[in-house]
Structure 1
């Protein structure tokens, strides 16, 4: 369920989430230069605490407040005297006690509330300065961390996969595209994604995702202007019914991709 490896100078903590004996999802936390990026889910707290006991870190930098990224932050706050940082918009969410749907509580665990401090424009680890890039779209409080000297990027959930097939009803494809464009202004090298892990050619993979989303947006708008309904567009572009759609009660759906792209037209 958990595997620790080293890529470049980053310790990668890979956590596989099992459902019915099968791998249902993968999430990562990363440790570099005394900075812990994200904390994994509360459901894997028992597996993560030996890692925390073995490794030291000076602070926690959260890419956003979702429970799969912040689940063991309360344990860290209670057991380690280190500050925890998140974007200003995530502070109140972090303070709340597992205020998210039941299926997510079962999947990721019940995260208790914790106190987080606001991130600034940069954050300083032991030997490096990291630019905090505001990258909303997946979440309103989402940020990425970028080292301008090495080109290393911690992208949170900005990338995840080259081709997006389902999103949450709170996500925005146009905003995600703008966030990717903002990151592509920098000389990105290696990318550490909280679901895909280590990606050596970070900039080209982000470009690939942006190209896909731009083409997808163009297709959706063309079909809408051709008088197809939202449901018809979904059936044409995303005919596959992913299990997360029913499991989440519709919080995740391919339909949300269509509606977010057409948000200014419907």
Structure 2
């Protein structure tokens, strides 16, 4: 399944994948009318969700109602998903209002019809983020771990250090293909993840070096990320390049010095 949400100059694709009887992620509630026919006709035994964000869980309640198949998510966010979603208004405009749904804790290993899968904890973008590796095919479903090589914006509660650790972790596994919930099939996927890891390590070093030279967070942000993306204003600063700088400084116990 693939749909696109666009508003005031910002757009993003959302993918969900059906493979070997497993549906990976459920898309946004705002895309339900486009995904409904696919969901109704699809033959799957279980749903695995990479993390609780509403663009990945928006159709889960509908699936739970009509399909009666188990839905799995990190046990850390089962209670979050069982309640009405609480997130900013602009995200509801994009993704709709995610309804409560029941889920079970994702095991560390699960089986589909013909394959064995590893569940890899990959937090950083979200506290409960997980990636799924099909051992038999060498396909790694990365949720929002990848998205793009050169990250320019993050949410206020994301952690650059933790994302770096998660990238290092998945790269210890044996896989060839990377399949992303926003970028789709990633060409030369393993190398793309390595490139992202190198990029974030480089950004972290630049931020630390500039801070040691006496520059504050906003000054560093202006030097490294001068472009003002529309989503910054649209989200009221919930998405911002400044969060990258702040995350690095705070997590490395360095002064922010606005």
TM-score under structure 2 normalisation? Answer: 0.96
Q: What's 1:249 paired with?
A: 236
The correspondence for 2:184, drawn from 165, 188, 197, is 197
Q: Does 1:25 align with 2:9?
A: no
Look up the match of 2:2. Answer: 14
CA distance in 2, matches of 1:163, 1:59: 33
In structure 1, which of residues 151, 172, 176 is the aligned counterpart of residue 138 of structure 2? 151
Query: What is the alpha-carbon distance in structure 2 between the residues aligned to residue 19 and residue 174 of structure 1?
Result: 31
Match in the other structure for 2:35: 48
Distance in 2 between residues matched to 1:187 and 1:60, nearest whole Å: 23
Secondary structure of 1:139's aligned partner: coil
Shift of 1:23: 6.3
Q: Is the 8 A contact 1:123 1:131 kept in 2?
A: yes
Residue aligning to 1:98: 85
Structure 1's unaligned 5+ residue stretches are 1-12
The runs of at least 4 aligned residues of structure 1 exceeding 2 Å deviation read none
**Gapped regions of structure 2 (runs ≥ 5):** none
Between the aligned partners of 2:238 and 2:110, the Cα distance in structure 1 is 33
Aligned residues between the structures: 253
Question: Which of residues 227, 230, 254 in structure 2 aligns to 1:265?
Answer: 254
Residues in 1 aligned to 2:172 and 2:70: alpha-carbon distance in whole angstroms: 30
Report the secondary structure of 2:142's partner residue.
strand
Match of 1:130 in 2: 117
- In the alignment, the residues of structure 2 paired with residue 218 and residue 238 of structure 1 have an alpha-carbon distance, to the nearest angstrom, of 15
Contact 1:16 1:23 in 2 (8 A): no
Is residue 29–residue 59 contact of structure 2 (8 Å, CA) maintained in 1?
yes
Residue deviations 1:134-160, cap 9 Å, x none? 000000100000122321100000000
1:229-240 aligned within 5 A = 229-240=216-227
C-alpha change, 1:104 and 1:178, in structure 2 (3 Å) is same
Question: 2:212 aligns to what?
Answer: 225
The DSSP-based 3-state class of the residue aligned with 2:6 is strand
Q: Which whole-Å CA distance do the structure 2 matches of 1:23 and 1:257 have between them? A: 20
Q: How is 1:82-121 mapped onto 2 (pairs within 5 angstroms)?
A: 82-121=69-108
What is the distance in 1 between the residues matched to 2:187 and 2:44? 24
Return the alpha-carbon distance in structure 2 between the equivalents of residues 124 and 214 of structure 1.
35
* CA 1:58–1:45: 2 relative to 1, 3 Å: same
TM-score (norm 1): 0.93
Of the three residues 45, 50, 53, the one matched with 1:58 is 45
Aligned partner of residue 106 in structure 1, secondary structure? helix
> What SS class does the counterpart of residue 43 from structure 2 fall into?
coil
Residues 22, 45 of structure 2: 8 Å contact kept: yes
